[in-house]
Amino acid sequence: QGRGTFVASPRIEQRLNRLTGFTQDMRVRGQRPGARVLQKEIVPAPYPVARALELEAGDSVVLLKRLRLSDEEPVAIETAHLPEALCPGLLEEITEDSSLYAVLASSFDIIPTRAEQQVEAVLCPAAEANVLGVQKGAPMLHMYRVTYSSGDFPFEYTESFYRGDRYVFHVELRNGGTKKKPQR
């Protein structure tokens, strides 16, 4: 009360029936994608990452953590893990505004063909709140995704936090049966 009028930015609607990367998704919407690299290094794969990527715990993985921007506004934090053996030298090719999927396709011939994704509503942890510019405990969409290339080979394990005030996920559900005209 007493602070004036605020206009909320429209939410970004992401369809979950197509496999796209963040950069491609923003460009389709006419928005300018961006990123700030928060962390990039080679690390031993933690057990959940190793299991998802069909590696041994401790195998080397590329860790790429980025703040994702839409028209310069922070909207998500993505932490991707990729087997280092599949993409040696990836860290040198990633810049602030690189599309990870474009770099993987052009330099390593890795093209995503499908993904398994899990989304849950959570309260924003303090560390992510500071980076995203929201209050601790703000509503977030927390996502885990395993992405597969041709041959059904898992090449990426990603954990993301999407701002609940800026993102909405859209899913189209269909009945598996045949279509029939309704009876009157």
pLDDT at 83: 98
User: Helices then strands (H, E): number in the chain?
Assistant: 5, 8
Q: Which residues contact residue 97 at a Cβ distance below 8 angstroms, ignoring those fewer than 6 apart?
A: 23, 33, 34, 35
Q: What type of residue is 123?
A: L
Nearest to 22 by CA among 80, 106, 87, 63: 80
Q: What is the pLDDT of residue 54?
A: 97
Beta strand 73-83 with 112-123 is unpaired
What is the distance between the alpha carbons of residues 29 and 5, in angstroms, rounded to a whole number?
Answer: 27
Mean pLDDT of the chain: 83
**Of residues 130 and 19, which shows the higher confidence score?**
130
Residues 6+ apart with CB under 8 A from 183: none
Q: Above 80 in pLDDT, residue 103?
A: yes
C-alpha angle 36-38-41 in degrees, rounded to nearest 5? 125
pLDDT of 119 > 80? The answer is yes
The per-residue pLDDT for 84 is 97
Lowest mean pLDDT among 4-18, 77-91, 133-147: 4-18
Secondary structure letter of residue 90 according to DSSP: H
Q: Does the structure show a pLDDT above 70 at 38?
A: yes
Is residue 79 a contact partner of residue 86, using CB atoms and an 8 Å limit? no
Gap between the Cα atoms of 46 and 145, Å rounded: 16
pLDDT tier, 97 (very low <50, low <70, confident <90, very high otherwise): confident
| Average pLDDT for 43-65 | 96
What pLDDT sits at residue 4?
A: 45
